[in-house]
Structure 1
Amino acid sequence: MNQTAVAINPTELTSESQRSWIANLNLTFSSTEQGSRLSSVERNGPLSVQKAFYPEGPDCAHVYLLHPPAGIVSGDELHLSARLNAASHALLTTPGANRFYRAREDASLGTSLQLQKTHYQLAEHAILEHLPQETLIYSGADAINQLMVEMSADSMYFGWDIISLGLPAVDKPFVQGAFTQKTQLLIDGKLAFHDVLKVNQQNGLLHHVAGLRGHSIVGTFLIAAPAQLSSDKNQQKCSELLDIFRQKVEQLNACREISISALDGVFVIRYLGQRSSRCKFLFAAIWQLARLHLCQLAAHQPRIWLT
């Protein structure tokens, strides 16, 4: 594995840039005779990985995305990208929750914005599992979280984002600020899914009856396997898998919390509730079924989830 750390000359930092952090992490995964390997890492700033783990054997690389500051403040930008070359398989997760802290009110910084951008590219027959811990949006944040996935029709993507608006577990609701979540999924260059969640005081979405209805936890889980789920000949398999997912949701008494839609080759699973741990539990239950039926692989939860 090649790791490249881009050094920054401290004398080139201005007083403003010292108060913000621009981080870049670019990963490449490749299929080799030894299995799926993290073949390249390029990083700049406080985003990194240590090494790939192989709890289920050499064909799936488990990688923990590390952000030592553990939170994003005004002026910070995190840019994460990963390319999965043909037939490679990676599972990406985080050791703990991500955080968008309350935005600074200091005008000298020049911006209150907090930004995280993630971009994944999947070549043919690649499999990516994007399973981060929850993202906490502190009251007063001015945050944008963007995800773009570009995949081949015969690759597979399993990815969720669990958003906590405020800190409901400690009775600190999201009462001011702004948060935007933008998700795009492209299959062979064509837009297959586009979703924008924008919460602020002006639109009142958090409490609107046609919005989040006062719920603090919002989760979106995409399962994309176009070659297996799209086209007329695969409609039966798609319907059967949809029934399996819905039966699991019913068994877990989660019909009021979870909705599942089937698009052309993509399942869209949504959670709306009050507990991020509950959302993760339900998403993981569906992920286990999807992995088994689409990849013929038993699910191996990352060890970091147990610590």
Structure 2
Amino acid sequence: MTAYQPIADYASGHRFDQSRRWAASLELGFVARNEGDAGRISRLVRRRHHGPLRVQRPFYPEGRNGCCHVYLLHPPGGLVSGDELRIEASAGEGSHALLTTPAAAKLYKADSHGVAWGQHTRLHVAKDAILEYLPQETIAFDGSRGQQTTTIELETGARTLGWEVLALGRPASKLPFATGELEQRFHLSLDGNPLWLERQLLDPKHRRFTGHWGQGGATVQATLWAVGLEDEASAIERLREALPDNNRWAVTRRRGVLLLRYLGSERNEAWALCEQAWHLLRPMLAGVPAHTPRIWLT
């Protein structure tokens, strides 16, 4: 995996035209090590950062031989015009890591020049490794403009489970997502061959946003994915039996990728749905029960 090269012109962050950029990057690498009597342990062995994006230390709430939990920290707490975040993480053969965030991410209104922000996540999972990507939700403020990309590269035998939860506007404060434009891209591949490619544009001025054939006026959406399940059909049946019986979510599979979607108006409902699905799927994917990250409870 090629390391991210920070933007060379650091002074561009002080501009206020279309060339304005504030770059931040984080590169993480996990490996599984045999450490004598301690057994096999997943270690964070590479940690490089540029700008306000970093991790403090790994946690082992599932035991020292269990999954390595890491919290992705972005002290500003949100993205403004010109911000450019890049996160790369690789799980080496046999390792198991879980990435999450300490709080919701916020996408703020664009500046008077309409300069966009960018957030790009790239995950690489080697043979027999497991990487879970479970960030807390993202809240897009009215007028926000930017692009989110998620790229997941798997080797044969790799397993992954993750989600993205997006809340548009702040309806409780009577501040809907009425202007702006968001673009989301997902690219998941196995040994270089694409399994799931998706591009979504969210423009409240487009009829797709309110049309029943599109967004349908929904203000919260979520996508959960899982790759590496031995019996996808059984997993889907268990989800349909256990999750709430309503028309705001659906689950399917295609080319070895299980996808669960939510489209509604409640952040808490979307989060609870994803978390419940994770608790059901993780034992089937990783052979161990889900262990809620402590940071979610603070």
Question: TM-score scaled by structure 2?
Answer: 0.90
Q: Aligned to 2:206, which of 203, 208, 214?
A: 203
Q: Aligned to 2:236, which of 230, 242, 253?
A: 242
Q: Deviations over 1:59-108 (max 9, x none)?
A: 311000000001111111000000111111110000001111000014xx
Contact 1:166/1:174 (CA < 8 Å) preserved in 2?
Answer: yes
1:98 corresponds to 2:89: no
Tell me the amino acid that sits aligned with residue 115 of structure 2.
S
Tell me the amino acid that sits aligned with residue 100 of structure 1.
L
- CA–CA separation in structure 1 for the residues paired with 2:205 and 2:172: 25
Larger CA deviation: 196-205 vs 293-302: 196-205
Partner of 1:234: none
Instruction: Specify the SS of the correspondent of 2:238.
Output: helix
Q: For residues 45-64 of structure 1, what are the structure 2 equivalents within 5 Å?
A: 45-58=51-64, 59-64=66-71
Q: Deviations over 1:173-229 (max 9, x none)?
A: 10001011111100111100011110114533221111111110010000111xx44
Partner of 1:263: 254
- The percentage of aligned residue pairs carrying the same residue is 34
Contact 1:47/1:66 (CA < 8 Å) preserved in 2?
Answer: yes
Instruction: Specify the SS of the correspondent of 2:210.
Output: coil
Q: Aligned to 1:41, which of 32, 47, 51?
A: 47
State the Cα RMSD in Å.
Answer: 2.0
Partner of 1:278: 269
Q: Aligned to 2:96, which of 89, 102, 106?
A: 89
Deviation at 1:239, TM superposition (A): 1.6
Partner of 1:3: none
Q: Aligned to 1:188, which of 191, 202, 206?
A: 191
Contact 1:27/1:82 (CA < 8 Å) preserved in 2?
Answer: yes
- CA–CA separation in structure 2 for the residues paired with 1:239 and 1:9: 50
Partner of 1:25: 26
Larger CA deviation: 199-208 vs 133-142: 199-208
Tell me the amino acid that sits aligned with residue 278 of structure 1.
E
- CA–CA separation in structure 2 for the residues paired with 1:204 and 1:152: 40
Partner of 2:38: none
- CA–CA separation in structure 2 for the residues paired with 1:138 and 1:112: 15
Tell me the amino acid that sits aligned with residue 225 of structure 2.
L
- CA–CA separation in structure 2 for the residues paired with 1:86 and 1:27: 15
1:144 corresponds to 2:143: no
Count of residue pairs brought into register by the alignment: 284
Deviation at 1:14, TM superposition (A): 6.7
Runs of 4+ in 1 over 6 A off after TM superposition: none
Contact 1:168/1:274 (CA < 8 Å) preserved in 2?
Answer: no
1:305 corresponds to 2:285: no
Contact 1:117/1:146 (CA < 8 Å) preserved in 2?
Answer: yes
Larger CA deviation: 237-246 vs 124-133: 237-246
- CA–CA separation in structure 2 for the residues paired with 1:280 and 1:200: 23
- CA–CA separation in structure 2 for the residues paired with 1:295 and 1:144: 31
Tell me the amino acid that sits aligned with residue 138 of structure 2.
T
Task: Structure 1: state its 5+ residue gaps.
Answer: 1-5, 230-236
Deviation at 1:264, TM superposition (A): 2.1
Tell me the amino acid that sits aligned with residue 236 of structure 2.
L
